[in-house]
Amino acid sequence: MMPPMQDELTSAIANDLGIAGLPPAEQQALIGQFGEIALKAATLSVMEKLSDEKRAAFAKLSEEGDAPAIKAFLDLELPGHEEVVKQAVAEEVKRFKNFQTA
């Protein structure tokens, strides 16, 4: 059983993606797959905004998996990076919904 907060978050994501009518196991699988795609899209969007030198530094930090260091780097090198990520994820939600209706 999922903790209540996680259950609410999963429900909200399922509603956003338009998959709330599917069985819970299918919702979880699709949300997991979507999460991977959204993370890749967000990362690519951030990388596109950085110079080649900064991309290399970002890639190194990403490989190390140090989330606070990554955030500090992006705060310094790409002000507004949160908005870049939000836009990338929103675009992926839109693509997912379009794919469902196609």
Please write the tens of the pLDDT for every residue from 56-90. 999 999 999 989 999 999 999 999 999 999 999 88
The pLDDT value given to residue 14: 85
The pLDDT value given to residue 10: 78
The number of domains in the chain is 1
Closest CA to 14 of 2, 32, 1: 32
Q: Which domain holds residue 72?
A: 41-102
Is 1 within the bounds of a domain?
no
- Predicted TM-score (pTM) of the model is 0.77
Closest CA to 14 of 3, 28, 4: 28
Is 5 within the bounds of a domain?
no
Q: What is the mean pLDDT of the segment spanning 22-44?
A: 90
Distance CA 22, CA 76 (A): 42
Is 16 within the bounds of a domain?
no
Is 31 within the bounds of a domain?
no
Distance CA 75, CA 90 (A): 21
| Host H or E run for residue 47 | helix 24-49
Please write the tens of the pLDDT for every residue from 16-28. 888 889 998 998 8
Q: What is the mean pLDDT of the segment spanning 28-50?
A: 91
For the chain, what is the largest distance between any 2 Cα atoms, rounded to a whole number of angstroms? 46
